[in-house]
Amino acid sequence: MIDTHIHADSRSGEDFKDMYLSGIDTAITCSYYPYKIPHELVLQNHLNRILEFDTKRAAEHGIDLKVALGIHPTNTNINPDNIFENLYKWIENKQIVAIGEIGLENLTDNEINYFKKQLDIANECNAKVIIHTPRKNKKTVLKTILDIVPQHLDEKNAVIDHVNKNIIGDLIDKDYMLGLTVQPHKLDKYDAISILDKYGFDKFLLNSDMSNKPSDPLSVPKTVRELTKEGYKKNEIKKVASTNAKKFFKI
């Protein structure tokens, strides 16, 4: 199984161990610094720590940790130039599988400008992106995201993450991959299954988004096991358990 969106830097080795024992072999960790950043060096150190340290921590417990790096919309109060330059290097050296997570939160000018720039980098480098949608004002913010992305990047190279029932109708007929986040205050496993039951398994990824907020590192295997228990076809379950992620991120 693959958990397609976590924040490994905020979790313990015990979480990685439990994930591995529950059947997760691979996870994709995204960048997000949850505290106020006084200087861009703090964010740069955060990104380096994910790339150089958390991958090793996860591997010690059996998890093949893939990395997505970028500037999260809540971290857009810093000078981004050095990080933008590093994104080119990380992509060229195949150190990251996507730019992420990026997106919009409060629709500030900085958020929008940084989002557009990172989409342009992805377009130049033929890279994937993982796009955050917020808990608050999700439908309004998504409308702006959907206006911006096609002007900068092919929809087929983007994941719209944290999708729920309120916005699925705005997305299902587009070419994005769609992330279902099984986490308290987002979706429970039954919400995720109801979306899959209605719209099929081809366009979806499962993730826990485990972070410093309330999270369940085992939410992906719990959802997969519930799908199995409810009698969904094995080949369909495998799509959201691993196959879709392997094809999209080329991992």
pLDDT tens for 20-54 read 999 999 999 999 998 888 889 999 999 999 999 99
For residue 147, give both structure tokens.
Answer: 């206006």
Mean pLDDT taken over the chain: 97
What average pLDDT does this structure show over 159-165? 98
Q: Domain of residue 29: give its range.
A: 2-249
Q: What is the pLDDT of residues 45-104, one digit of tens each?
A: 999 999 999 999 999 999 999 999 999 999 999 999 999 999 999 999 999 999 999 999
Q: Assess contact for 208 and 190: CB atoms under 8 A.
A: no
The per-residue pLDDT for 35 is 83
In percent, the amount of the chain with pLDDT more than 70 equals 100
Is the pLDDT at 163 greater than 90, yes or no? yes
Whole-number pLDDT of residue 37: 86
Q: What is the DSSP letter of 11?
A: S
Question: pLDDT confidence of 132, banded at 50, 70, 90?
Answer: very high
Q: Is there a contact between 118 and 102 (Cβ–Cβ < 8 Å)?
A: yes
The answer to whether residue 128 scores a pLDDT higher than 90 is yes
Token pair listed for 20: 């591995």
Q: For 139-150, what is each residue's pLDDT tens digit?
A: 999 999 999 999
C-alpha dihedral (191, 192, 195, 199), degrees to nearest 10 = -170
Q: Are 192 and 209 in contact (CB under 8 A)?
A: no
For residue 234, pLDDT beyond 90: yes
Q: Are 25 and 2 in contact (CB under 8 A)?
A: yes
For residue 149, give the CATH number of its domain: 3.20.20.140
Quick one: which H or E segment has residue 100?
Answer: strand 98-103
Our count of domains for the chain comes to 1
Strand partners, 3: 27
